[in-house]
Structure 1
Amino acid sequence: MLTPLTSASAFALYQAMLLRSPRTPGDSAKVFVLGSLNLISLSNGIIFGQAACVISSLQKNEEGIQLTEGQISLIASLLIITNVLGFGLGAFIADKFGRRWSFSISSILVVINWIVLYRAKDFYEFVLSRIIGGIAVGALWKLVIFVTAEYTSSKTRAFFLNMVTTVSPAIGTALIHVIGNILHWRTVTLISIIPSVIGAVIPYFWVESPHWLASRRKFEECQTAFRKLHGNTTNSERELLLLLKMETAKFNNAIETNSEPTFKRLLIAFKRKYFWELLLMSMFMHAYIAAGSKLVFTSLAMVMLKDITGTSDVLLFTLLVDSFMIIGSCISLFIRKTSVRTLLFSTGFAANVVIVIFSFCFYFRNGQTYFNWINVCLLAMFFILVNSGPYPLLDAIFSEMFPLELKLYIFSISGVVLVVLLSLTIFLFPYIVNAIGYHGLFLMNAGIMTISLGYMWVKWPETKGRTLQEIEVYFKANNFDVEEVLSKEQTMNLII
């Protein structure tokens, strides 16, 4: 029978681990994992970008495929609606079998999605491909956000999260938008299979996530994997020590309270104030993401730009906006030079001002070509700003804000709201535009984004340079000092 470790025996265990462990540099293992995650994220961007090619073709009734506007809207939105199933699937596989297998299985589903889509000839086949693709991309989308944080250190976490969650998907989307303007969408589908196949194979060769190993009480394997990834610098040893102490304390606490199963720990979390505060914050973050219209543009780029410019020749307009989205994503990498709060709120509120100006310019457009370019440039400037700050930083915040052993499950709960909001934005998009126009749509979205940023301004602390354990302890005990929290009996019961 397992018994809780005393603080003295726990400390002795940590010291023994430190002395026994091999001292190996972690650059090669980390570069391999992060490079793989970037490829998988690029594949995710391709999935959303390729949807624009399919929708544009279906609207033109190409290949004799006759679908109603409602059916086309459903096909477009299903890719997002079924994400919630992927959230649950990804959480279960990643929790039970590890991070590597969750990526491989999800990528295999992406490959199946492409095969079904390539052969699709009627409404039900398109629906089937979107269901499979939605489940797969939902799992990968969430896993990329949370798992990347586990493979990086506190000093580089924000930088690599920006790269994986923002830059790579933007490149994938832009690439497929360009190819989709040149080649038939079925040919684009065949090309899209390639990164998905690679993404299904390479996770097998990863070092397993040290954080997952620690959450499964595999402490010796955890410290070996951690050093393969991060080496044995002073900072990495401190981060490893905090990880081991935190997970051992939670393990002991779970034994004492008879709450080892994940479901019981979730029930305990439901009774804690910090859980509901984080859940409420995630709702405002979801509202910002949905209102930011990035996903709508990614999925319906050619449709939107045809409406905004009044011309069907939108290749140059598409290249401009996609290029600016990539530029904005690359600018986000400069987070290493500034604080999270400074970059988030400066770019976030500036983006709101730009989109309000766009709304007025679009409303008063005079039909001249130069005015089309002004509107498209304003839209591009908006995406530069949201991709340089809010979008990558919100992903980073999602990766930090929930407890390690429960974060995938908690996000599956809060993610339902995100999926509903994103699905509605795509499904209702044509109806909203018909009712209030693009100027009304973006003006409404600017209001939602401003309210969401205002709430986060009040609630979110500066977390740059903090370990995941320090951030977790802060939201549970309002204190970044892990050692102090673990040493006080009155705060120990908060760590589950």
Structure 2
Amino acid sequence: MVRSLQKKEEGIDLSDGQISLIASILTLVCLIGIGLAACVTDKIGRRWSVIIFNIPIIIQWIILYFSYNMFLFMLSRVIAGISAGAITALTIFVSSEYTNPKTRAFYLNMITTAAPALGTSLGHSIGIVLQWRTVALIGIIPAILAVVIPFFWVESPHWLASKGRFEECEIAFRQLHGNKLNSERELQMIIKMEKTKLKLANETNCTPTLKRLFAAFKRKYFWSLILMSVFMDAYFTAAGKLVFSTLATVILEDITGTSDVLMYTLLVDGFIVVGSCMSCYLIRKTSLRTLLFSAGFFANVVLVVLSACLYFSNGQNYFKWINVVLLAMYFISINAGPYPLLEAIYSEMFPLELKVYSFTLSGVLLMSSLASTIMLLPLMVSTMGYHGLFLLNAAIMSISLVYIWFRLPETKGRTLQEIEMYFKTNNFDVDEILSTEQSKALM
């Protein structure tokens, strides 16, 4: 659609600034969606929130199909952005509440990386082959499925426990996980920990969620988590996942110097899917930290090499393929480790009753920086070239990984309660903490 608007097809005459605004506004208004998701899911639960926020996605596809002026383009993108922000937050955080500790990272990888990689690849391919209005109609199909499927869910046991609905929590948890010994232990841990938190909240008059959030503002652990999320946000922004998924054909045309980029797009997207599938395998065979940092630093090296190749490129056809292959290798590495694992960490690191609110605070920086990169990409490329941009990105990613290296424990196989306890007390042992005066650290 962006390339079509730039070529002024169908008589639609928009300036470059208007087109940049259309391309970036979706990401910017995601902040509204994240904030709404926090309020709605806290009040009515996870299941109905997913249904409610997917309905506008259907509406915006229809509006986009009939768009011929700036107002309609912006309206569709604003609706899409609000819904996408909410769905992104719910997808990351809700998914972790439905899976068990041993398979949580694997399923989160499937949901947040592998499936979106397939969807993005399909979107890029049919976006090149088909007219973008036809693609908008096709987009209605998964949106309808996203509305229908949650009707068959049970409510999140963790959310039920956080609201003091412990009998419903037990029923929902056993429907999801059965009644094996490890599952029963996790269930009792959830109930014990949430009962303790509710008791402390009543004693300190912090029962409403917002009061508990303001109480968390006074705790060192909370700002430590926010700071780590800032470095994670910086990594996501510099890594270019959203920029490439949004402007893939534009970037490939610039790098290769040709508008015939179908094969290049299929190659890069294919490797993104390969990297996502590799991650599903590797995440079951190795520790979270090992995979995150080995794949992350390797991706940085590839990006530096790509920067050098772009700088010394002589315009020959073989150099085009070298650059595209290096870009594909970069996305294999980034999708095999950092992308899915950092999203999994996001779902684990914040306290249960405050996680979506906490992500709203962190998301201000994340969504603002992502929107800015899309809007400012043409200016940055014209100023420093793709070689300079990729070198700058590699530096930011390296600094972010170093900080995360020192702050992140190994969370694979840990329950959400154990992880929450560690970030609050530097100790994974929930039973030990709850049986001592240190239980006050839960507030």
Q: TM-score, normalised by structure 2?
A: 0.99
Instruction: Output the CA distance in 2 between the equivalents of 1:362 and 1:417.
Output: 30
Query: 1:365 maps to what in 2?
Result: 313
Shift of 1:68: 0.7
What whole-Å deviation, never above 9, does each CA across 1:86-132 have from its counterpart, x for those lacking one?
10111111110111111111110111110111111101110111100
Letter in 2 for 1:91: A
Larger mean Cα displacement after TM superposition, 198-207 or 395-404: 198-207
Alignment pair present for 1:290 and 2:237: yes
Query: 1:420 maps to what in 2?
Result: 368
Instruction: Output the CA distance in 1 between the equivalents of 2:144 and 2:48.
Output: 14
Matched positions, count: 442
Other structure's SS at 2:353 match: coil
Query: 1:22 maps to what in 2?
Result: none
Match of 2:327 among 379, 385, 388: 379
Instruction: Output the CA distance in 1 between the equivalents of 2:56 and 2:119.
Output: 18
Shift of 1:492: 1.6
Other structure's SS at 1:406 match: helix
Match of 1:92 among 17, 20, 39: 39
Instruction: Output the CA distance in 2 between the equivalents of 1:200 and 1:61.
Output: 35
Instruction: Output the CA distance in 2 between the equivalents of 1:89 and 1:268.
Output: 21
Instruction: Output the CA distance in 2 between the equivalents of 1:256 and 1:88.
Output: 28
Query: 1:49 maps to what in 2?
Result: none
What whole-Å deviation, never above 9, does each CA across 1:3-43 have from its counterpart, x for those lacking one?
xxxxxxxxxxxxxxxxxxxxxxxxxxxxxxxxxxxxxxxxx
Alignment pair present for 1:233 and 2:201: no
Query: 1:46 maps to what in 2?
Result: none
Shift of 1:229: 0.3
Other structure's SS at 1:415 match: helix
Query: 2:387 maps to what in 1?
Result: 439
Query: 2:349 maps to what in 1?
Result: 401
Alignment pair present for 1:242 and 2:217: no
Instruction: Output the CA distance in 2 between the equivalents of 1:221 and 1:298.
Output: 40
TM alignment of 1:18-29, pairs within 5 A:
none
Query: 1:223 maps to what in 2?
Result: 170
Alignment pair present for 1:458 and 2:400: no
**Runs (5+) with no aligned partner, structure 1:** 1-53
Instruction: Output the CA distance in 2 between the equivalents of 1:180 and 1:420.
Output: 26
Match of 2:109 among 162, 166, 178: 162
Shift of 1:384: 0.4
Shift of 1:235: 1.1
Match of 1:204 among 146, 151, 167: 151
Query: 1:7 maps to what in 2?
Result: none
Moved over 3 A (4+): none
Instruction: Output the CA distance in 2 between the equivalents of 1:159 and 1:198.
Output: 23
Percent identity of equivalent pairs: 62
Letter in 2 for 1:104: I
Alignment pair present for 1:332 and 2:279: yes
Match of 2:19 among 72, 76, 80: 72
Query: 1:32 maps to what in 2?
Result: none
Instruction: Output the CA distance in 1 between the equivalents of 2:210 and 2:89.
Output: 20
**Runs (5+) with no aligned partner, structure 2:** none
Alignment pair present for 1:56 and 2:16: no
Larger mean Cα displacement after TM superposition, 231-240 or 159-168: 231-240
Query: 1:31 maps to what in 2?
Result: none
Other structure's SS at 1:296 match: helix
Match of 2:427 among 438, 455, 479: 479
Instruction: Output the CA distance in 1 between the equivalents of 2:129 and 2:211.
Output: 53
What whole-Å deviation, never above 9, does each CA across 1:344-400 have from its counterpart, x for those lacking one?
000000000000000000111111111100000000000000000000000000000
Instruction: Output the CA distance in 2 between the equivalents of 1:256 and 1:294.
Output: 45
Letter in 1 for 2:37: G
Shift of 1:157: 0.3
Other structure's SS at 1:428 match: helix
Query: 2:302 maps to what in 1?
Result: 354
Letter in 1 for 2:227: L
What whole-Å deviation, never above 9, does each CA across 1:424-481 have from its counterpart, x for those lacking one?
1100000000000000000000000000000001110111100000000111111100
Shift of 1:318: 0.2
CA RMSD, aligned part only?
A: 0.6
What whole-Å deviation, never above 9, does each CA across 1:404-424 have from its counterpart, x for those lacking one?
000000100110000111011
Alignment pair present for 1:136 and 2:83: yes
Instruction: Output the CA distance in 2 between the equivalents of 1:293 and 1:193.
Output: 26
Letter in 1 for 2:376: L
Match of 1:267 among 204, 208, 214: 214
Letter in 2 for 1:250: K
TM alignment of 1:176-191, pairs within 5 A:
176-191=123-138
Other structure's SS at 1:405 match: helix
Other structure's SS at 1:462 match: coil
